[in-house]
Amino acid sequence: MTRALNQQVLVLNRLWQAVNICSVRRALTLLFEGQAQVVFGDQDGDFRTFDFKAWRDFSSVQPPPEHELAIHTVSFRLRLPRVILLLAFDRVPRQEVKFTRHNIFERDKNMCQYCGRVFERKDLNLDHVVPRDRGGPTTWENIVCSCIPCNTRKSNRTPLEAGLRLVRKPKRPKWRPFVQVSFGGTMHDDWKHFLDLAYWNVELGSEPG
């Protein structure tokens, strides 16, 4: 039961836009309180919505496949919702990517922006292209991933002064953040219609120091 209740559910606002991820436990609470409905897609690509009673009845008529988890009570078996629709929430995620250490690694794809080699994140630093004591700001446009050897070679100089060239000019990312939570599980097939896969490239970390 605990495993089933901890499964992930995609949350849509009332405009059918993906805005969050919650647990089955939370989704069922919203469903039972009348704040959300289950969204279910059939094989023809059509989507139907169910309130709690309708979802319970649907689960008894069309039980989940044997390999899928379900919620079992004394009187009924309930399919796990995979997508829910909030009935009174129409906001959308922020369109700005949060400026974090993790997101800089994501933008640069774990690649040193001076030598072009890919490293484990533990072997990468964040480097100010124009050093801070030379007026370089801590912004998307002046921070890049740098391996330790290149970072040591560059020291407190500009890339030109150190004989280094940037692989690419650092820019503010254009991908849109999905939600401010980490996502590390398998994306359910039921979610694909609602998701721009680029959303999943954002995972928040600690601010650059």
Assign a CATH topology to domain 101-162: DNA Binding (I), subunit A (1.10.30)
Please, are residues 103 and 175 in contact by the beta-carbon 8 Å criterion?
no
Domains in the chain: boundaries = 2-93, 101-162
User: What is the Cα–Cα distance from 6 to 24, expressed in whole angstroms?
Assistant: 6
Please, are residues 55 and 78 in contact by the beta-carbon 8 Å criterion?
yes
pLDDT in tens, the chain (209 residues): 677 788 889 998 888 888 888 899 999 999 999 999 999 987 777 889 999 999 999 988 887 777 677 787 777 788 889 999 999 876 655 556 778 888 899 899 999 999 999 999 999 999 999 999 999 999 999 999 999 999 999 999 999 999 999 999 999 887 554 444 444 556 677 887 777 544 444 443 333 33
Determine the pLDDT at residue 199: 46
User: What is the Cα–Cα distance from 106 to 52, expressed in whole angstroms?
Assistant: 39
pTM over 0.75? The answer is: no
Please, are residues 82 and 185 in contact by the beta-carbon 8 Å criterion?
no
Q: Which residues pair with 77 in a beta bridge?
A: 72
